[in-house]
Structure 1
Amino acid sequence: MGRQLQLRTATSEDHDWIHELRHRVYAQELGQHATNPARRLSDGLDGDNVQLVVARGADRVGFVSVTPPWAGRFGLDKYLTRDELPLLNEPDTFEVRILTVEPEERSGAAAPLLMYAALRWIASRGGRHVVAMGRTEVLDLYLGVGLTRVGRTVHSGAVTFEVLTGGVGALTRSAGHRYRAVVERLRSVVDWRLDASFAPGPDGCEHGGASFAAVGTDFRTLHRRWEVVAADVLDAWFPPAPGVRAALTDDPGWLSRTSPPTGAEGLVAQIAEARGVPAETLCVGAGSSDLIFRAFGQWLTPDSRVLLMDPGYGEYAHVTERVIGCRVDRFRLRRADGWRIDPERLAAAVAGGDYDLVVVVNPNNPTGVHFPAAELSAVVEGAPARTRWWIDEAYLGYVDPAESLAPLATTDPRVVVCTSLSKMYALSGLRAAYLVAEPHTAAHLRRWTPPWPVSLPAQRAAVAALRDPEHYRAHWRRTHELRHRLALELAELGEGVQVEEGVANFLDITLPRSGPSAAQFVRACRGHDVYLRDLSPLSALYEGRTVRIAVKDTAENARVVAACQAALDVLLPPVPRPAVGAAR
């Protein structure tokens, strides 16, 4: 393949070459367009496209264009209506266009590298579908990587194209398995300069945060925990209740060597008392992920149909779509609506969807928006009898525990409420959670629960936490103050930076279109040991520009603001200032 290829996003200096290469290939060589005296071909979508360029040293080798859904239009719109290709209406569909390579490089690594780079860029922006036009003479190139015909042929000048599509997840799996050797060879010859990583995670779902890797997962450099601001995970900024700390330090040798109560009976009794629900409606686990995997594995199959909120907590897509292989639809929330769930629109979607399961995280993560209990319960009660509802209330304490749908879950066999004790109770490291369901459902899940599902330290800590509600209420109130102050300070970062505060222990900021991508911004903040969460892979609705920030204490929030400001000072283009004495 030869060394060394560079893969980058096109700069302004690349555009003349791109237009000149287009003219040579699509006008002079292929006859798709008429030649012109300027010997340049531009495209009406150039201002909306992202071009990825391969170069070898100073010599540019090839490029590919990607049109994102937020452009509002695609190249295919010139040839097909949205009724003919409804996939173009989906907000997570990206178009790959004009893959073009210099003639002398067409047998080398440039074309497969550009195709792979387009896939990685799209995945990093939350894309789930790809559409493309494949020239019939080289159609095998596209079919070979996993794209499929949609049954539409397009004629442009002297060139005929097939319209192709593919799922980003399936294409990524194919690249990682069927074409693994090719991808590894590409890795060995490329200087990869995209803000998307060369290799995806195990399946695209980021569990936890990158901040612990900065601290040291081998626990040899734990002093780093005082240097790193872990605002990429939603762990509590405050300490657990004094009783929790006392429970964990009271004879730790006994705690570590002693088997806990087999069914966490004392913890179950304490949850029942604190929440006012019967013990027989409870099932406990080592964090909400434990309960999600256990319950969904019992209820769902690849034939099941599931509705998820979008944007929404990525664990649910991970389990339903990637682990079980369910048919998953998305209920698209709208930034223009403040990411609020419209109850009438949701009710209509559920009524017409024939769903086995609907998942609602309330308040939602990552939007931080709360769906009032009265509205949500009305939608649930009007839903089809066969549809089960999973209500995740991990952050409900930041609103009002009285807003819980747990009482409904104790009697309605369609409703299960899951609550993590990690985030609201400062117990993330101990892993404790519970769900509430009507007795038959809860009993079925308990039968599939292994003995000792929650460790002895976690059981003792969770019991102590639930016995001190005032400690947590005070810190939840303080969280609102810290979050609001952080939002005000972040709003001063610069023109075009949008802050969305929500009601939980985090907020989101969206960068201006003219600014850096969220990935670039997050990387720059890490240079200051401040870790934030890039929401781009979670949903294309974020357009690659939105970052989630966990609320920390006053000092760490100040470090977050300073790191964000420093990152923008470097990444944002300077604003021209009028010369002294210039006319206004």
Structure 2
Amino acid sequence: MLSRFLRPELAALPAYVPGRPAPVGPGGVSYKLSSNENPYPPLPGVLAAVEHACAGMNRYPDMGNTAVIAATAARLGVDHDQLAFGTGSSGVLYHLLQATCTAGDEVIIAWRSFEAYPIAIKLAGAVPIMVPLGPGAVHDLDAMLAAITPRTKMIILCTPNNPTGPAISHDDLVAFVETVDGRALVVVDEAYVEFADAPPRTIELIKNGTPVVSLRTFSKAYGLAGFRVGYGIADPEIAVAVRKTAIPFGVSLPAQAAVIASLEAEKELLDRVRLIVERRDVLLARLREVGHQVPDSQANFAWLPLGARTGTAVETFSAAGLMVRGYGDDGLRITVGEPEACELAVEVAATLL
């Protein structure tokens, strides 16, 4: 048996479940609302930059992501040495865990939150401490503080929280970090920050020397999910450690070109984000109108807490040509897609009652 060569931890490791492809419903209706992707196609300028970069595909990309770091640093107003790039914000988290955690360390997370957290934590040899969400599907910050032990190395906060949607305010984050008081590194996963009305000012905290790391991505608001580019903002000492653990040449040549072109076209991209936010708010209001108890979402999705009915509900959406994301016996997540997709989602959701 070749399994003797494998790490024993893998036997109990949950597998990450990606969003399933869109089914085909009546009349050929087919919408994928399961992966929180931006529904808009790439801007022409971004496509042109990628095409130009592909002409050099026989060469390795810049391993240091020099131009990407320069453009991102200028956009955020941070120093170059405060940034570390990887294959999506989840990739950067994997590198951060490798750089900080050893066997037996504890990492506190809210649950339910991003499915990749327990996997990444266990692969680093650490132990995930999963603290249930509070009423309204929000992070129970007091309970997370109470879970800190001498073995706690890191606390991950997801804001807006995936898959439920609520966000943590700046004041609440500041109070939380002050109470942690350096006992653990606070990592703020901000993959959906561009969709939030009033996100915490994490960069301000990092510049002030607060032990906080921000994780961000170009997959969601910037529409580069297929290129998988994310980054961390941190104190230079943390950022250099993340860069040390990163896979060499992890960010491809066309992906780097797409990031730079997207930052140059940021106004048009963020105009699209504003439309998605407006559509999200309409979706939340409509779901509530038909009778669902939907938590406030500051991301590009809505959460239906359906409990044990989740599996059946996912199949109901699928039969109508809509693929949504189910989460065990907790609920399902609906990505904000095209207007007609959102309207159909409300119609299907109404039948669940």
Deviates more, 1:281-290 or 1:340-349: 340-349
1:549 alignment counterpart? 334
Q: Does 1:314 align with 2:125?
A: no
Alignment match of 1:358 (pick from 137, 142, 155): 155
Q: Secondary structure at the match of 1:263?
A: coil
How far the C-alpha of 1:286 sits from its partner, in A, is: 1.4
How far the C-alpha of 1:565 sits from its partner, in A, is: 4.8
| Alpha-carbon displacement from aligned partner over 1:502-557 (angstroms, at most 9, x marks no partner) | 1110011234x7xx711111022212321111122xxxxxxx25211000121222
1:74 alignment counterpart? none
| Alpha-carbon displacement from aligned partner over 1:331-371 (angstroms, at most 9, x marks no partner) | 22222xx2333555544444x56511100011111121111
1:243 alignment counterpart? 45
Query: Contact (CA 8 Å) 2:131, 2:143: kept in 1 or not?
Result: no
Amino acid in the other structure paired with 2:96 = A
Q: Does 1:294 align with 2:89?
A: no
1:21 alignment counterpart? none
Q: Secondary structure at the match of 1:522?
A: helix
Task: Give the Cα–Cα distance (whole angstroms) in 1 for the partners of residues 301 and 55 of structure 2.
Answer: 37
CA distance 1:390–1:373, change in 2 (3 Å): same
Query: Contact (CA 8 Å) 1:483, 1:501: kept in 2 or not?
Result: no
Q: Does 1:558 align with 2:353?
A: no
1:446 alignment counterpart? 243
Task: Give the Cα–Cα distance (whole angstroms) in 1 for the partners of residues 198 and 294 of structure 2.
Answer: 26
Q: Secondary structure at the match of 2:152?
A: coil
Task: Give the Cα–Cα distance (whole angstroms) in 2 for the partners of residues 462 and 318 of structure 1.
Answer: 27
Residues 413-452 of structure 1 mapped to structure 2, 5 A cutoff:
414-452=211-249
How far the C-alpha of 1:471 sits from its partner, in A, is: 1.7
Residues 35-114 of structure 1 mapped to structure 2, 5 A cutoff:
none
Query: Contact (CA 8 Å) 2:190, 2:215: kept in 1 or not?
Result: yes
Query: Contact (CA 8 Å) 2:29, 2:320: kept in 1 or not?
Result: no
Residues 103-502 of structure 1 mapped to structure 2, 5 A cutoff:
173=11, 203-211=13-21, 228-249=30-51, 251=52, 253-321=54-122, 323-335=123-135, 338-350=136-148, 354-399=151-196, 403-410=200-207, 412=209, 414-493=211-290, 497-502=292-297
How far the C-alpha of 1:431 sits from its partner, in A, is: 0.7
Amino acid in the other structure paired with 1:547 = L
How far the C-alpha of 1:385 sits from its partner, in A, is: 2.4
Amino acid in the other structure paired with 1:517 = R
Q: How many residue pairs are counted as aligned between the two chains?
A: 342
Task: Give the Cα–Cα distance (whole angstroms) in 2 for the partners of residues 510 and 401 of structure 1.
Answer: 24
Task: Give the Cα–Cα distance (whole angstroms) in 2 for the partners of residues 418 and 489 of structure 1.
Answer: 32
Query: Contact (CA 8 Å) 1:346, 1:379: kept in 2 or not?
Result: no
Amino acid in the other structure paired with 1:334 = G
| Alpha-carbon displacement from aligned partner over 1:408-459 (angstroms, at most 9, x marks no partner) | 2345373211111111111100111110111112112222223322111111
Q: Secondary structure at the match of 1:356?
A: strand
- TM-score, normalised by the number of residues in structure 1: 0.54
Alignment match of 1:526 (pick from 318, 323, 326): 318
Larger Rg: 1
Task: Give the Cα–Cα distance (whole angstroms) in 1 for the partners of residues 219 and 282 of structure 2.
Answer: 24
Amino acid in the other structure paired with 2:293 = Q
Task: Give the Cα–Cα distance (whole angstroms) in 1 for the partners of residues 121 and 276 of structure 2.
Answer: 32
Structure that is richer in strand per residue = 1
CA distance 1:424–1:173, change in 2 (3 Å): same
CA distance 1:433–1:507, change in 2 (3 Å): same
Task: Give the Cα–Cα distance (whole angstroms) in 1 for the partners of residues 344 and 116 of structure 2.
Answer: 29
Percentage of matched positions with identical amino acids: 26
Gaps of 5+ in 2: 1-7
Q: Secondary structure at the match of 2:294?
A: strand
Residues 17-36 of structure 1 mapped to structure 2, 5 A cutoff:
none
Query: Contact (CA 8 Å) 2:99, 2:241: kept in 1 or not?
Result: no
- TM-score, normalised by the number of residues in structure 2: 0.87
Task: Give the Cα–Cα distance (whole angstroms) in 1 for the partners of residues 139 and 311 of structure 2.
Answer: 27
How far the C-alpha of 1:392 sits from its partner, in A, is: 0.6
| Alpha-carbon displacement from aligned partner over 1:284-310 (angstroms, at most 9, x marks no partner) | 011112112222122212310111112
Gaps of 5+ in 1: 1-169, 175-202, 216-225, 537-543, 573-584
How much is the aligned-residue C-alpha RMSD, in angstroms? Answer: 2.7
CA distance 1:320–1:400, change in 2 (3 Å): same
Q: Secondary structure at the match of 2:155?
A: strand
Amino acid in the other structure paired with 2:21 = S
| Alpha-carbon displacement from aligned partner over 1:252-288 (angstroms, at most 9, x marks no partner) | 6505434322211000001100011000111101111
2:4 alignment counterpart? none
Task: Give the Cα–Cα distance (whole angstroms) in 1 for the partners of residues 127 and 334 of structure 2.
Answer: 31
Amino acid in the other structure paired with 2:152 = Y
Q: Secondary structure at the match of 1:209?
A: coil
Q: Secondary structure at the match of 2:204?
A: helix
